[in-house]
Every structure is written in structure tokens, then in C-alpha cells.
């Protein structure tokens, strides 16, 4: 089970990294087209602005899900040096559980927002507002998956990290 979670998680991390980079590239390209179209051709393109806005929202929340997967979105660095490793490990689990609870509430609220405003249509593109609030739901689901992956696959990963940390480091050029 832990291996399956880890392999799916690794695939999701690669896909999210690609999607965030692709969204950033698309936003830059669309904004350049907007500037060129407005100031050199004299024809504004409001549809491209809405697409850029949707891409920015999705890029932000997919990037946040990627940060949750790497335990970099919510970090308590202040206590890292002051707590023992056992207590700090428990604190990380507590932060993961609190984040999971928040993500469950966010998913429920995001779905409610999608139902309420899903009938509205963006004026320039005709895209449903579901696309705007769908990023919240995607972030919640992905974040929950990564937390479950970490909590249920943590014992194996921690054992591998502990055994790797116990191995002596070989120094190059050292002579016995």
C-alpha cells in the first residue's frame, strides 16, 4: 500500500511540477499577446485576460498542493532546533492532521461555492465560474492525498531515512 501511494505521489508531483511550469509559461505568453494586441494592433483581448486569470488561480493552487506534498506550505521552523527529534516528528504529524482537517473544510466549502456560482459565466470567454473555484477543490483533494501518503507511508520512509543517516560517510581522499 505504501509503495502504491509513493508511486502515485511521485507521479502526481512530476505532473504538478509540469502543470505549474506550463501554466506560468502560458500566462507569460498570453500577457505578451495581450500587450502586443492592445498597444500595437489597437485591439484589446479581454478573453485572454480571463484565461490568464484562470491559469494564475490554478497555478497558485496546484503549486500549493505541490508544496503540501513536500511539507513546505506549513512549516514550523522556529521549533526545529529547540525540540528533540521525537517531539518534532510528533509536531509534524500534528501539523499534517491539522492541515488535513482544514483541507476537508476547504473542499466542502469549495464544492458549495461551485454549486452556488457555477451558473455564472465569465463575460469575455463564456467559461463557467466552476473553473475558478475548481482549483480550490483540486488543491484540497491533492493536498489530502499527499498528507495521507505521508502519514501512511511515513513509517517506511522514516526507517529508510534513519538507516541512511546511520551509515558512515566515506570521505574522498581519506587514507587509512
Mind listing the pLDDT tens digit for each residue in 98-112?
999 999 999 999 999
Average pLDDT for the chain: 83
Q: Is the pLDDT of residue 74 over 80?
A: no
Q: Is the pLDDT of residue 165 over 70?
A: no
In a domain, 14, yes or no: yes
Q: What pLDDT was estimated at residue 63? A: 95
pTM score, two decimals? 0.79
Q: Are 122 and 50 in contact (CB under 8 A)?
A: yes
Considering only the C-alpha atoms of the chain, give the largest distance between any 2 of them, rounded to a whole number of Å: 75
- Would you place residue 76 in the very low, low, confident or very high pLDDT band (cuts 50, 70, 90)? low
In a domain, 175, yes or no: no
In a domain, 165, yes or no: no
In a domain, 99, yes or no: yes
In a domain, 160, yes or no: no
- Averaged pLDDT for residues 38-62: 91
Which of 83, 176, 100 is closest to 143 using CA atoms? 100
Q: Is the pLDDT of residue 174 over 80?
A: no
In a domain, 20, yes or no: yes
Q: What pLDDT was estimated at residue 89? A: 83
Percentage of the residues of the chain whose pLDDT score is greater than 90: 45
d(CA 127, CA 111): 17
d(CA 98, CA 128): 32
d(CA 60, CA 136): 10
| Of 84 and 28, more confident | 28
- Name the domain count of the chain: 1
Percentage of the residues of the chain whose pLDDT score is greater than 70: 84
In a domain, 176, yes or no: no
Q: Is the pLDDT of residue 86 over 80?
A: yes
Q: Are 74 and 99 in contact (CB under 8 A)?
A: yes
Q: Is the pLDDT of residue 58 over 70?
A: yes
In a domain, 92, yes or no: yes
- The range of the structural domain enclosing residue 125 comes to 2-155
| Of 30 and 160, more confident | 30
Amino acid at each position: 500500500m505504501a509503495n502504491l501511494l509513493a508511486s502515485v505521489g511521485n507521479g502526481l508531483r512530476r505532473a504538478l511540477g509540469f502543470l505549474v511550469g506550463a501554466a506560468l509559461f502560458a500566462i507569460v505568453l498570453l500577457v505578451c499577446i495581450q500587450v502586443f494586441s492592445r498597444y500595437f494592433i489597437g485591439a484589446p483581448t479581454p478573453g485572454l485576460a480571463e484565461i490568464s486569470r484562470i491559469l494564475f488561480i490554478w497555478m497558485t493552487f496546484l503549486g500549493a498542493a505541490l508544496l503540501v506534498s513536500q511539507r513546505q506550505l506549513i512549516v514550523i521552523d522556529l521549533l526545529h532546533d529547540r525540540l528533540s527529534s521525537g517531539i518534532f516528528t510528533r509536531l509534524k504529524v500534528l501539523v499534517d492532521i491539522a492541515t488535513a482537517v482544514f483541507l476537508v473544510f476547504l473542499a466542502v466549502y469549495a464544492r458549495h461555492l461551485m454549486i452556488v456560482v457555477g451558473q455564472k459565466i465569465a463575460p469575455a470567454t463564456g467559461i463557467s465560474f466552476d473553473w475558478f473555484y475548481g482549483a480550490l477543490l483540486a488543491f484540497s483533494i491533492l493536498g489530502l492525498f499527499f498528507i495521507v501518503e505521508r502519514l501512511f507511508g511515513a513509517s517506511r520512509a522514516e526507517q529508510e531515512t534513519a538507516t541512511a543517516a546511520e551509515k558512515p560517510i566515506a570521505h574522498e581522499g581519506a587514507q587509512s
